[in-house]
Structure 1
Amino acid sequence: MFSFLIRRSRGLLLAAATASVVSGICGVLLVSRINAALAVDNSTATMAWIFAGLAVAVMLSRTLSSVLFERLGQHALAELRRYISSRVIAADFRRLEILGGPKVQSALSEHSTNVAQFFVSMPAILTNSVIVIGCMVYMAILSWQIFLAAVAMIGLGSVGYHLAHLRAIRHLSVASREQDRLFSHFRSLVEGAKELRLHAGKRRAFSEDLLGRSVEAVRRSRSLGMSIFVASASWGNFLVYAFIGLVLFVLVGDVPERNRVMTGFVLVFLYMVIPLEALLLNIPRANLARVAAARIEEITRDIPGADADDKPDSSRLPAELGSLEIRGVTHRYYHEQSDEVFELGPLDLEFRPGEVTFLVGGNGSGKTTLAKLLVGLYAPESGELVLDGKPIDDINRDRYRQIFSAVFSDFHLFERLLDLEGGDLDERGNRLLRRLHLQHKVQVCDGAFTTQALSQGQRKRLALVAAYLEDRPFLVFDEWAADQDPVFKDVFYRELLPELKAEGKAVLVISHDDRYFHLGDRLLKLEHGQLSVAEKSVSCESPNPETGGQASVGSVG
């Protein structure tokens, strides 16, 4: 991650680092001028001007460094989020389902922010590192014997800091992993709001056992890790003051210019305390960023860019759909109800334009999985999809998906009608809204819905409007009418589906509304992963008084 960010911001990083180094050098020179002024009886005007120049240089270089690194931090955050988003968009859908949304959200927010904060703390790390090194060099000039003692003292502090560092990193890594689970609980906090309010015991258990424990685990691990860093920084400061005592009372004997040497060492060490403390406190940020970067790398490795075709012509659609065949397609996945691996298929199907197909089956029979295989969201484990005589593979699967519009049961509704053009887009959208009786609640204005604060059924009608306006050759509706009122079901089955059929669209409707099955060209039934063709009753135009309007369905496949 750091290599990627440095490559993307090499010039800005070099300028900011240079400003930080200049700031540190000027700070050390400023201390040397102060010590020189203390060693003489009368300061000269030249010394005053040099002091003033160095003070201004410190101020300007430190300001420039901070501004550049702040810009670098924001640039790094934007680059990370663009990088992760591009990997998510290009990822294989099935792999993305397995990975889960909370990990992606954690990478885009918490982990990315921690990495970006490292760049914000870089001026403090660089500047203070230069100051500490410069002070050590100046001490060596004053007295190499005392300098060696200082090196030994700093080495002792470094060993202790390193041991503490290793332990602290383990706690920060635990906190980083627990953060992913915490984001999952945050999502449940909103998406499960209805269920939590209807069940006090469930609400209490979620708040205390899940959310509360996860929040506490992150707090405890992160606090412990950072506390170890703070304690090690205090240990470093203690060694500094201990060394000042050794210089004053033990190490400096009867040497030439004793007062100048003692004053110089004490002044340098006192000046070095704040930069050393800042350096030790900012290093944990760097380590937290390293842990976050490693977590981002781990997450993005699980979502490799697989099948998104970003070529300019990738979204070009065929003028019309000729034929679409499913030949011997199978797919295996874990089935929760039976607690075993469920196999769908082998499936053999053919779809043609101007054909409305109904798909029925019990819960868990594989209807939605079949739809995802059909539209190319899942790759078949065996068999193949053939579009107009051409097999679909990993190379052309993304282009193949562009012939479909789908409204799944777990659909997502974007606030804008994305990638739709035409000066009459608003007019066509609002015309559909009127047919679906939504004109008083929402409008299409400048290619966007004016609100999404609607019921689930109303939002699903908006998703239908978006799919209809996309004007794709093949449309898939997964239980669209399940939560619609009878009047809207009639509009969907008796008006919109015949219109799509007349326009030459291929349509697959997953439904349990058997009173409308006669409106389709064929009825497919899925049982235990196997597909059969069902016979439709021609007498289901009007409700059957004996069966309550249910059509008779008999298997002929």
Structure 2
Amino acid sequence: MLAYLIRQSRTVLITATVASVIAGGCSVLLVTQINAALTAPDHAARTALAVRFAVIAVAAALAHTVSSVLFERLSIRAQAHLRRFIADKTIATSFRQLEEIGGPRVQSALSEHSASVASFFVNVPVILVNAIIVLGGLAYLAWLSWPVFLAALVVIGLGSLGYHLAHLKAIRHLDVAAREQDTLFDHFRSLIEGAKELRLHAAKRARFADHVLGRSIDVVRSERERGMSVFLAASGWGSFLIYAFIGLVLFVLVGDAPDSARVMTGFALIFIYLMAPLEGLLLSLPRANLARVSARRIEAITSALADAGEAATAESPRAFQRLALHGVTHRYFHEGLDDLFTLGPVNLTFAPGQLVFLVGGNGSGKTTLAKLLVGLYEPESGEIVLDGQPVESRDRYRQTFSAIFSDFHLFDRLLDAATGDLDEQGNRLLKKLQLHHKVQVQGGAFTTRALSQGQRKRLALVVAYLEDRPFLVFDEWAADQDPLFKDVFYRELLPELKALGKTVLVISHDDRYFDLADTLIRMESGQIVAVEDCTAHAPRQRDEAPLDVAS
């Protein structure tokens, strides 16, 4: 993932890296100029050194500014690019795969993990500049004294070994924290969506706060604490080696060697100057590793979001004459049965101007059948045939439908309306659905969505009307409506849609309205047990030919 982001901004990254190298190199040159000025033989030499010092200082400041600005922009762009990448992968994957992965994991990738990866680009200039300063300082030590330089290499070797061992242990803790982070986002969602239930049950609220949400927060905290503590312990090991190195130089390696004053002066300057870059380097590396952990989590999540292999279509939905399901089956895990649940084989035919009721007990497979029908699930066997042609482009096929499922989502904007006078049509429909006194459509958006569930379903119905698709599916739509408006829905709105030539499938338990249907489909345990032609008042069993109202 990091390599992918680097490729996306290669030119800017190279420029920023060069600027960081220049800034680090100039910083080392400043130390050499200071050491040279301290031991300069006369005023003229110090004047020349002052000019060089000023030029190098200006160059260092400019390079550091350019590097910081470019890397900050890279960080912001990287996060935006990551979020777009994850969002595109989420949109492109099949609905079934998205259900299996779960929304909290995707949300975690979009927020926490993408921010962590983006922070890598903020740490890069710190790492580069400090690394250049440290390497340049060591090179200057080599120029001053080979014994000092060789001792420094031993110290670096020991420090690197300790850091590598610490890194392996710390990454394990950070990986656990990253995985738990996905679960934590699910609990955050429960904190908001379950607000009513939590406030109505004090014991439940306490257990959720302490043993569910609190435990998950503590796991993320403790694992990150352990991981970062190991990194910081490795940093302390590095500091100890530095002090040991100083003692070795002062009391063993330099001693009474020739030109010891110049070596000691240079060494003192380098030591004082390198302490801050070394500390910054040791602190930045763990954060860079944390970005790597987040990058791996994003890779794992986006790899699971496999592309459905279909390009989105912008074609307007077209009317159809016949839609048939031939031997369609689907299997999924049923929690109540603790086993695989098989839906089908299903044989059904739909035609324009047909009002169909789908009825059956809870868990009989009604909603799953509706998701198969509209193309959200792909049949495991059998085929869907539209106007005599098997469906090949599932995305194009899905544009035939508007659906309001029981777990529907209401966007704040009317994103898929086909006409230009959107506000006028929307407000006319709101008046028809008795919502005009609470909400309006302005600039293609609802003025509010803070309504009851039943009223929000009416807003969703407005959207379905404006989409003007030939086939509409309502999954227990009337369940949250008051008796008066429930009667309006069944006796006025559904017949009106039928008169417009729409095919309407209604999943319902309201048996008092079943006589309004043209066709009544009964389901039990994933099987269609009866298809009744209500217009002829003659039941048709599942072993008979499927009903075709068009014929």
TM-score normalized with structure 1 length: 0.94
Residue 307 (structure 1) shift: 3.9
Which residue of 2 is the match for residue 60 of structure 1?
Answer: 62
From the superposition, tell whether residues 118 and 391 of structure 1 become closer, same or farther in structure 2 (CA, over 3 Å).
same
2:38 partner letter: L
Query: Any idea what SS the aligned residue of 2:342 has?
Result: strand
Deviates most, 82-91 or 132-141: 132-141
Residue 534 (structure 1) shift: 4.7
Equivalent residue runs for 1:60-99 within 5 Å? 60-99=62-101
Equivalent residue runs for 1:76-475 within 5 Å? 76-310=78-312, 314-393=313-392, 396-475=393-472
Residue 299 (structure 1) shift: 0.7
From the superposition, tell whether residues 161 and 537 of structure 1 become closer, same or farther in structure 2 (CA, over 3 Å).
closer
Which residue of 2 is the match for residue 548 of structure 1?
Answer: none
Conserved 8 A contact 2:318-2:400: no
Counterparts of 1:229 and 1:133, CA distance in 2 = 21
Counterparts of 1:209 and 1:30, CA distance in 2 = 57
Which residue of 1 is the match for residue 523 of structure 2?
Answer: 526
Give CA deviations for 1:127-173 in whole Å, capped at 9, x if unaligned.
11111111111111111122111111121111111111111111111
Deviates most, 166-175 or 226-235: 226-235
From the superposition, tell whether residues 380 and 556 of structure 1 become closer, same or farther in structure 2 (CA, over 3 Å).
closer
Counterparts of 1:288 and 1:243, CA distance in 2 = 30
Counterparts of 1:381 and 1:130, CA distance in 2 = 59
Conserved 8 A contact 2:96-2:376: yes
How well do the aligned residues superpose, as a CA RMSD in angstroms? 1.6
Q: Is 1:478 matched with 2:478?
A: no
Which residue of 2 is the match for residue 546 of structure 1?
Answer: none
Query: Any idea what SS the aligned residue of 1:472 has?
Result: coil
Conserved 8 A contact 2:329-2:380: yes
Q: Is 1:492 matched with 2:494?
A: no
Q: Is 1:31 matched with 2:31?
A: yes
Residue 331 (structure 1) shift: 0.8
1:355 partner letter: Q
1:387 partner letter: L
Q: How many residues align?
A: 540
1:18 partner letter: V
From the superposition, tell whether residues 432 and 378 of structure 1 become closer, same or farther in structure 2 (CA, over 3 Å).
same
Residue 217 (structure 1) shift: 0.6
Counterparts of 1:468 and 1:60, CA distance in 2 = 60
Conserved 8 A contact 2:317-2:469: no
Conserved 8 A contact 1:124-1:282: yes
2:374 partner letter: V
Conserved 8 A contact 1:409-1:478: yes
Conserved 8 A contact 1:88-1:303: yes
Deviates most, 514-523 or 128-137: 514-523
Residue 256 (structure 1) shift: 2.3
Counterparts of 2:134 and 2:493, CA distance in 1 = 75
Counterparts of 2:74 and 2:533, CA distance in 1 = 66
Give CA deviations for 1:197-222 in whole Å, capped at 9, x if unaligned.
11111111111111111111110010
Counterparts of 1:535 and 1:275, CA distance in 2 = 80
Conserved 8 A contact 1:106-1:180: yes
Counterparts of 2:110 and 2:40, CA distance in 1 = 58
Query: Any idea what SS the aligned residue of 1:410 has?
Result: coil
From the superposition, tell whether residues 245 and 390 of structure 1 become closer, same or farther in structure 2 (CA, over 3 Å).
same
Give CA deviations for 1:47-82 in whole Å, capped at 9, x if unaligned.
111111111222111111111111000000000000
Which residue of 1 is the match for residue 22 of structure 2?
Answer: 22
Counterparts of 1:319 and 1:236, CA distance in 2 = 70
Conserved 8 A contact 1:404-1:472: yes
1:253 partner letter: G
Counterparts of 2:455 and 2:122, CA distance in 1 = 46
Unmatched tracts of structure 2, length 5 or more: 543-551
Residue 86 (structure 1) shift: 0.3
Query: Any idea what SS the aligned residue of 2:336 has?
Result: coil
Conserved 8 A contact 1:157-1:239: yes
Residue 7 (structure 1) shift: 1.4
1:373 partner letter: L
Residue 554 (structure 1) shift: 6.4
Unmatched tracts of structure 1, length 5 or more: 540-551
Which residue of 2 is the match for residue 6 of structure 1?
Answer: 6
Counterparts of 2:207 and 2:284, CA distance in 1 = 38
Counterparts of 1:226 and 1:181, CA distance in 2 = 21
1:101 partner letter: G
Query: Any idea what SS the aligned residue of 1:475 has?
Result: strand
Residue 492 (structure 1) shift: 1.6
Deviates most, 270-279 or 482-491: 482-491
Moved over 3 A (4+): 532-539, 552-557
Counterparts of 1:341 and 1:105, CA distance in 2 = 28
Counterparts of 1:234 and 1:150, CA distance in 2 = 17
Conserved 8 A contact 1:436-1:491: no
2:500 to 490, 498, 503: 503
Give CA deviations for 1:264-288 in whole Å, capped at 9, x if unaligned.
1221122111111101100001100
1:17 partner letter: T
From the superposition, tell whether residues 468 and 303 of structure 1 become closer, same or farther in structure 2 (CA, over 3 Å).
same
Which residue of 1 is the match for residue 546 of structure 2?
Answer: none
Conserved 8 A contact 1:87-1:300: yes
Deviates most, 288-297 or 53-62: 53-62
From the superposition, tell whether residues 459 and 307 of structure 1 become closer, same or farther in structure 2 (CA, over 3 Å).
farther
Residue 318 (structure 1) shift: 4.7
Give CA deviations for 1:414-459 in whole Å, capped at 9, x if unaligned.
0000032433211111111111111110011111100000001100
Conserved 8 A contact 2:418-2:466: no
Counterparts of 1:225 and 1:319, CA distance in 2 = 57
Conserved 8 A contact 2:326-2:346: yes
Residue 491 (structure 1) shift: 2.2
Counterparts of 2:398 and 2:118, CA distance in 1 = 36
Query: Any idea what SS the aligned residue of 1:414 has?
Result: coil
Which residue of 1 is the match for residue 545 of structure 2?
Answer: none
From the superposition, tell whether residues 384 and 537 of structure 1 become closer, same or farther in structure 2 (CA, over 3 Å).
closer
TM-score normalized with structure 2 length: 0.95
Counterparts of 1:245 and 1:556, CA distance in 2 = 94
2:354 partner letter: E
Conserved 8 A contact 1:95-1:303: yes
Counterparts of 1:211 and 1:134, CA distance in 2 = 49
